[in-house]
Structure 1
């Protein structure tokens, strides 16, 4: 049996720690909303918000990296909840555009605020210098 090297152990520890932090943040940011939106639905709301205009369902699926059928299912649920609305594409009668409703925008804003507040609470354990270092390190890891 081969001894594991330190970099492998460190990679596993870091992955586990990051997973735990993300899970804790998601759980805390959903408090008070019950099962209002799943993580997948939150991604759809965020993607629509970042688009800055209604987008085709097929474009939404591509941006999320999922098959159009899955996007349709998520949009169906969000539409039933009054968070998104479909409209015909004025340039292509066969296509449908999807956009956030005012209620969807408000919910997304509230979820983002809760997520930020949870992170502020977690980061309060670190000094300002440690927070800066952590942000720099995570930025480097996030680079493509």
Structure 2
């Protein structure tokens, strides 16, 4: 019979940060579950949501190959995501003006409206996670998360 692991407070008893890593993963998984539940009524998957956000953050419509690299997926996965989002009128494929062989992905008006709904769903999911924290704790957490996020590269 196995028992549940006993939480070890961070610090000298957890020098390698294993507990912190586990806590971050648990919070991330919880956030993803909440977001997935909130995305269902929109008919958007978490992967499609991520692609829409990536397209929106690019200064110009990205190429399909660039999206695959940024999302760290195989190009075929991007094709499937774009197919679904194009069917929902959230994005459209557009030829590159300088090179007809290159296909770029553009947001449509429906895609921009969907992004607004997605942002709202993400805020609601975050609020559900952050509800137990005071304003001071949220501010502290925000600073810590910003410091951690600075290690990630640019989106476009």
Shorter-chain TM band: 0.7 to 0.9
Q: Is the 8 A contact 2:36 2:45 kept in 1?
A: no
> Which of 21, 25, 28 in structure 1 is aligned with 2:34?
25
Runs of at least 4 residues of structure 1 off by over 6 A?
none
CA separation of 1:89/1:124 partners in 2, compared to 1, >3 Å: closer, same or farther?
same
Normalization by structure 2: what TM-score?
A: 0.77
> Which of 5, 19, 23 in structure 2 is aligned with 1:10?
19
Secondary structure in 2 matching 1:137: helix
* Count of aligned positions: 139
Normalization by structure 1: what TM-score?
A: 0.82
- The separation in 1 between residues aligned to 2:40 and 2:71, in whole angstroms, is 25
Return the offset for 1:28: 4.3
> Which of 47, 71, 78 in structure 1 is aligned with 2:85?
78
By percentage of residues, which structure has more strand?
Answer: 1
- The separation in 1 between residues aligned to 2:24 and 2:131, in whole angstroms, is 22
RMSD: 2.2
Return the offset for 1:141: 2.7
- The separation in 2 between residues aligned to 1:142 and 1:83, in whole angstroms, is 28
Gaps spanning 5+ residues in structure 1: where?
A: none
By percentage of residues, which structure has more helix?
Answer: 1
